[in-house]
Structure 1
Amino acid sequence: MTTPSPFPIEATAAEAQTAIRDEFAFFGDWSERYQYLIDLGRKLPDFPDAWKTEEHRLHGCQSMVWIVPQGDAGRLDFHAVSDSAIVSGLVYLALRVYSGRSAAEIIATDADYIADIGLAKHLSPTRSNGLAALLAFIRDRAQAALDGSAG
């Protein structure tokens, strides 16, 4: 059985991005920010081993990432986990912004927090590609939900 999702934490995706920006502003250097990312990753809810299948694996990541979407255009929840501590933190941030939101809000929300906290400059190319794959998966699911509800 899965642990209930803690997301959404903030009322809107925009508020989540503001909260992330404010939290990361507390840290003076990137070693502290990386440690915070690792700590956030540890807060991800339990992810059942039964979901760790090829079907749920996110391709485009160097580390192993599994993601399971649930819901419809009115509310999409994402459950995800990684075998990497830092990537788990990146997953946590993405879920904080996007999970538990409507498909329309997901599509309307660019991932500004990545640039706002300086993350893009501090990720390896493989982690940047993985983060892009994660965000693309979330947007694709939201678009599919919207397309499905239109017909």
Structure 2
Amino acid sequence: MKKTLFLLATAFGTGFAPSALAIEDAGTIKTVQGSVSVLRAGQKLAAAPGLKVQAADKLTTGADGSVGITLRDNTLLSAGPNSSLSLDKFAFNPTTHEGAIDASLKRGTLAVISGKIAKASPDAVTFRTNSVTLGVRGTEFIIEANGKDD
């Protein structure tokens, strides 16, 4: 009995709790025009201003769609019509400005204005298309991908 109580006290004392397992938000959708959806853990969500974006989210815009996202490090992403964007990895420490961004554009266009992660560590920011991987060396760039969505 003492052993069980000790294990329970240790587990809760180290911060193990359901809230500790929560996924951290990568950013926020700021603007939406036309048809835009977010695929998260197999569920399709309608994109709307204020919706939090998480690592592993896949954003898709229709022929009339576009979406603007501000990530927590102040990176700005703007996907145009007929785009498919996956935020594969996002981590950010607001104190040190260290972190990583790894995103994939399967099709469409993406305008990027880099934030604090790229300024602190350009090698930690990567954008991929079906044919190329971009490392960030500047602060503003546009990517166009003519591939097919998976």
Q: Work out whether the TM-score is over 0.5.
A: no
Structure having greater relative contact order (Cα 8 Å, sep ≥ 6): 1
| Pair member with larger Rg | 2
Decide which structure has greater strand share.
2
